[in-house]
Amino acid sequence: MSMADTEDLILIGKVTGPHALRGEVKIRPYSGEPESLRQYTCLLLALDDNTAPTPHKVVQVRLLKGCALVQLDDCRSRTEAELLTRAAVYVRAEELSEPEEDEFYLRDLTGRQMKTADGQLIGTIVGLLLGSGQDIAQVMNTDKQEYLIPLVPEFIVAVEAEEVIVSLPPGLLDINA
């Protein structure tokens, strides 16, 4: 698989280590919903940023304490599973299920305008910082000023086709200035 082929891949989690002796790997999904891994028949793993993800057929998924225990067809020993520790876990974009009416994928927010509930334009979402406690939108205004806005349910009022409406605590935008 070439690096060009990785454009349609979505990062969904990380291998945190081996489990038991038969080659299962523990995967922490970034969605916080380990049961979501049951829908995939193939996961793509990348050991580092310089290595193209390689496909691995999923044989079985079990749940344990906020993690998914995944048996891959080509990983049959603890030693093989240890080699996958810290690998990034991807799936192909077309394998993602459609979000429910009140749900959205964070990746779909990039390019949308962010406005406050009273109509103030903050800027355009140009990037996302994911996976470290809370997800953060990088928002750039027309003056090239960047705002870092936590994407927490308490702040998000609505996610519409072209914009994200937020209700932010007083002073949050000033902290970013």
pTM attached to this predicted model: 0.69
Between CA 153 and CA 147 the distance in angstroms is 18
The tens digit of pLDDT for each residue in 1-16 reads 444 455 689 889 999 9
Q: Which domains does the chain have, with CATH numbers?
A: 3-95 (2.40.30.60), 106-176 (2.30.30.240)
DSSP state of 99: P
The tens digit of pLDDT for each residue in 61-114 reads 999 988 999 999 999 999 999 999 999 999 998 888 887 777 788 888 999 999
In terms of Cα–Cα distance, which of 100, 20, 90, 98 is closest to 62? 20
In terms of Cα–Cα distance, which of 43, 40, 20, 33 is closest to 68? 33
* AA identity, residue 29: P
- Give the pLDDT mean for 119-132: 88
| DSSP-derived 3-state class of residue 95 | helix
Residue 157, both tokens = 């009022």
